[in-house]
Amino acid sequence: GNSWSLSGRSLEGSLVSPSYDSDVEGYITVNIIVDKNGNVINTSIGSHTITDPATRNAALTAAKRTRFSAGNGISTGKIIYNFKLR
């Protein structure tokens, strides 16, 4: 499964999963910056084993659509997406 880490915040709803058609297996870590309202306002690729650009873009898009609880100011964290062969 996928996992996330964002100190002092909780997930609102569920973690948005990337949609991907590629036959890939591995993981992509997306570094996230979350605003005070719980919106993901910036993403970047962190550690990964997948180099496929479409799959990486799918991970970034899913991370941007994920919502967290409101907090004091900006928070930084990460989401780890695990991809399995289809």
Q: Per-residue pLDDT tens, the chain, 86 aa: give them.
A: 899 999 999 999 999 999 988 789 999 999 999 999 999 999 999 999 999 999 999 999 999 999 999 999 999 999 999 999 87
Q: Identify whether the C-beta of residue 83 lies closer than 8 Å to the C-beta of residue 25.
A: yes
Q: Identify whether the C-beta of residue 30 lies closer than 8 Å to the C-beta of residue 78.
A: yes
**What's the pLDDT score for residue 7?**
92
**Residue that has been written with the tokens 């996992």 in this structure:** 3
**What's the pLDDT score for residue 23?**
87
- pTM score: 0.94
| C-alpha dist (Å) from residue 26 to 36, 41, 85 | 32, 25, 9
**What's the pLDDT score for residue 21?**
80
